[in-house]
Amino acid sequence: MTKFDVLTVGNAIVDIIARCDDQFLIDNNITKAAMNLIDAERAELLYSRMGPALEASGGSAGNTAAGVASLGGRAAYFGNVAEDQLGEIFAHDIRAQGVHYQTKPKGTFPPTARSMIFVTDDGERSMNTYLGACVELGPEDVEPDVVAQAKVTYFEGYLWDPPRAKEAIRECARIAHENGREVSMTLSDSFCVDRYRAEFLELMRSGTVDIVFANRQEVLALYETDDFEEALNKITKDCKIAAVTMSENGAVMLKGNERWYVDAIRIKEVVDTTGAGDLFASGFLYGYTQGRTLEDCGKLGCLAAGIVIQQIGPRPMKSLSEAARDAQLI
């Protein structure tokens, strides 16, 4: 028996989201469509220059957990916040989504992580993240019984930035595999891949990770190639299952010599791409833990991603389970 379908582990971050034009990114030396790590001083500077902003609990793996719960799955989450206002917001929001979250905050300093996200007219998001309390996540925050009772433990590649989180992830993987469970990761960002390419490949090739999520840019970066077909051929040899998203071209699921292509859903307007990959993973993992085919998992992923990019913020504002039923996917 399992208590949870999906346990996610990640950086607990509150997103502060504002619109801007491309010139603002240039003027403030912000790399477009990437996650830029910043210190506390730059966080204050960018916040002072932001226009009207929306605060929303985020963090890649937290968004995935929320998506799983919205689909009707049983989700849990590990991630560290501080004893401050943003920490309270994060804890409230993720629990209100129906996600099990019991990670204990560790004092008031460093403060809860925040990401200043600038959304341009094309819907592209440029993230500027101060990790703050995230770096405090360590092996002591692992709840062994939760890992043992989760069908899949999923973590974000961004966790390779704070050093002690690596120990927590390896401990989760050990417990999961000892209990016959599976481990999944997302490559998170092509810049993140550039920083930790060798380590990510080791996680995959050693069997520490069973299921890998990536987008087109990330899988190309992983294998240092411009040939997408070459990258797909390589990733299928390095892990049990891979799911690669291709923006408006949908996604491809790979296992052994088999592939399944699924289309993106039709949408009215791209409002904000924040959380698209996170919600794809939630749809896929929900389907996977319910015993669905990999093609159906991909369809659920594309549905969840397509819904979230039509709103501001990375957590679904409408019931994904209702949307999936309407689409006859569950």
What is residue 171's three-state secondary structure?
Answer: helix
Number of domains making up the chain: 1
First and final C-alpha spacing in the chain? 22
Distance, in Å, from the CA atom of 184 to the CA atom of 17, rounded to the nearest integer, reads 28
User: How does pLDDT run across 185-200, given as a tens digit for each residue?
Assistant: 999 999 999 999 999 9
pLDDT bracket for residue 152 (50, 70, 90) = very high
What is residue 9's three-state secondary structure?
Answer: strand
Helix axes 60-70, 276-289, angle to 10 degrees: 50
Distance, in Å, from the CA atom of 195 to the CA atom of 213, rounded to the nearest integer, reads 17
- CATH code at 42? 3.40.1190.20
Q: Are strands 182-186 and 211-215 parallel, antiparallel or unpaired?
A: parallel
Upper half-sphere CA count for residue 94 (Cβ side, 13 Å): 35
Distance, in Å, from the CA atom of 328 to the CA atom of 14, rounded to the nearest integer, reads 33
Is 313 within 8 Å of 56 (Cβ atoms)?
yes
Range of the domain at 266: 4-327
Is pLDDT above 80 for 151? Answer: yes
170 forms beta bridges with none
User: Can you give the pLDDT at residue 162?
Assistant: 82
Cα 42 to the center of its chain, rounded Å: 24
User: Can you give the pLDDT at residue 274?
Assistant: 87
The predicted model gives 123-131 an average pLDDT of: 94
